[in-house]
């Protein structure tokens, strides 16, 4: 029995193009792979044997045309001298599948490492952050303060924030679209879901930022954006979050601000369309109606 037939019994079947890259150490064309711009949370696995290779939290955009990671799952990736005598090849430690190459000292991230991986060498398994990092205690907060692009812009780089996601909540329509919400008939607000590391930051720090990046005295609007979908609201996940929000509102009222921010128990959060996620980051722009004003 030849080795190719043994592989087909032991490992996942591959298309001719997958074999060209994974078995014969080829390279896919840059900017063409499915996982190059992929941003979901989970594990990247070996296409040939399903072994977990990389966590999505270690993925970054090196603008090189291939998925890039600055770390691998311990023991999952093997480094070997490339046949060209210059580069270092990376292969799946479990089955030897060709993944790509690793480069050091480029300065893209603090780890100073770039695993440049062929998208075609990977599969993906969706998981939430807690599944990926059970050692980290996380919490979630949901804020609405006008256009969710601007709200996300300020929260995204806050120390302790693990992830941000824009979406819709507080209304009566399931799975709303952006156009439905913009019609101001769904009851939903444009909102931001923030997952944070509670050992690094806390809800009060996030809520203070929230009150400083939008005008909490405006009713159903924020700057030029008008409608109940742009209302100021905190959708609290616990009684503790509610009490903290009430305390901060009282402090602002003492300062003379007529705060109209709604405090509402959190309900179903519907993720917005992908083109809305990290909008300003992806388009290298800054918010047009959100500015930070010191209020505390």
CATH number at residue 262: 3.30.1060.10
Q: What is the pTM of this model?
A: 0.67
Token pair, residue 171, equals 């209304």
Q: Which CATH number is 89's domain given?
A: 2.170.150.20
What are the residue ranges in the chain where pLDDT is below 50?
1-6
In a domain, 69, yes or no: yes
Determine which one of 46, 64, 116, 182 is catalytic. Answer: 116
CA gap 264, 262 in Å, rounded:
6
In a domain, 237, yes or no: yes
Last residue in a domain, options 128, 163, 179? 128
**Closest to 215 (Cα-Cα) out of 248, 165, 255, 260:** 260
In a domain, 265, yes or no: yes
Give the number of domains in the chain.
Answer: 2
Same domain? For 154 and 175 the reply is yes
Same domain? For 62 and 170 the reply is no
Contact between 144 and 191 under an 8 Å Cβ cutoff? The reply is yes
In a domain, 290, yes or no: no
Last residue in a domain, options 86, 101, 128? 128
In a domain, 147, yes or no: yes
In a domain, 146, yes or no: yes
- Could you confirm whether 64 is annotated as catalytic? no
In a domain, 288, yes or no: no
Same domain? For 107 and 180 the reply is no
Same domain? For 187 and 274 the reply is yes
Same domain? For 116 and 205 the reply is no
Instruction: For residue 169, report the phi and psi dihedrals to the nearest 5 degrees.
Output: -160, 165
Supply the range of the domain harboring residue 18. 3-128
Same domain? For 157 and 276 the reply is yes
Same domain? For 56 and 154 the reply is no
Token pair, residue 221, equals 């609007």
Same domain? For 75 and 59 the reply is yes
Same domain? For 81 and 204 the reply is no
Place of tokens 């929000």: 245
Beta bridge mates, 233: 144, 262
Token pair, residue 79, equals 């480094």
Same domain? For 94 and 170 the reply is no
Same domain? For 227 and 124 the reply is no
- Could you confirm whether 92 is annotated as catalytic? no
- State pLDDT tens for residues 170-198: 999 999 999 999 999 999 999 999 999 99
In a domain, 293, yes or no: no
Last residue in a domain, options 128, 146, 170? 128
pLDDT of residue 132: 78
pLDDT of residue 3: 47
Determine which one of 92, 147, 182, 289 is catalytic. Answer: 147
SS (H, E, C) the chain: CCHHHHHHHHCCCCCHHHHHHHCCCCCCCCCCCCCCCCCCCEEEEECCCCCEEEEHHHEECCCCCCCEECCCCCCCEEEEECCCCCCEEEEECCCCCEEEEEEECCCCCCCCEEEEECHHHEEEEECCHHHHCCCCCEEEEEEEECCHHHHHHHHCCCCCEEEEEEEEECCCCCCCCHHHHHCCCCCCEEEEEEEEECCCCCHHHHHHHHHHHCCCCCCCEECCEECHHHCEEEEECCHHHHHHHHHHHHHHHHCCCCCCCEEEECCCCEECCHHHCCHHHHHCCCCCCCCCCCCC
Same domain? For 224 and 143 the reply is yes
């Amino acid at each position: 029995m030849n080795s190719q037939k043994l592989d087909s019994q032991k490992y996942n079947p591959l298309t001719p193009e997958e074999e060209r890259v994974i078995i014969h150490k080829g390279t896919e064309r840059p900017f063409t792979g499915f996982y190059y711009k992929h941003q979901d949370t989970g594990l990247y696995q070996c296409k040939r044997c399903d072994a977990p290779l990389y966590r999505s939290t270690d993925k970054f955009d090196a603008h090189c045309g291939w998925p890039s990671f600055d770390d691998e799952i311990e023991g999952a990736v093997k480094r070997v001298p490339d046949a060209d005598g210059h580069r270092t090849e990376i292969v799946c430690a479990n089955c030897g599948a060709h993944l790509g190459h690793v480069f050091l000292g480029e300065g893209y991230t603090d780890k100073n490492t770039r695993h440049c991986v062929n998208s075609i060498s990977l599969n993906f398994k969706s998981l939430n952050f807690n599944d990926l990092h059970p050692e980290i205690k996380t919490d979630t907060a949901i804020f609405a303060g006008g256009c969710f692009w601007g709200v996300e812009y300020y929260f995204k780089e806050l120390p302790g924030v693990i992830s941000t996601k824009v979406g819709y909540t507080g209304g009566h329509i399931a799975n709303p679209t952006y156009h439905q919400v913009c019609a101001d008939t769904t009851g939903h607000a444009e909102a931001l879901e923030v997952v944070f590391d509670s050992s690094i930051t806390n809800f009060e720090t996030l809520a203070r930022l929230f009150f400083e990046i939008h005008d909490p005295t405006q009713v159903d609007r924020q700057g030029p954006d008008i409608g109940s979908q742009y209302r100021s609201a905190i959708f609290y996940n616990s009684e503790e979050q509610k009490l903290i929000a009430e305390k901060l509102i009282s402090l602002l009222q003492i300062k003379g601000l007529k705060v109209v921010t709604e405090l509402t128990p959190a309900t179903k959060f519907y993720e917005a369309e992908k083109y809305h996620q990290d909008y300003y980051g992806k388009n290298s722009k800054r918010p047009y109606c959100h500015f930070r004003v010191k209020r505390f």
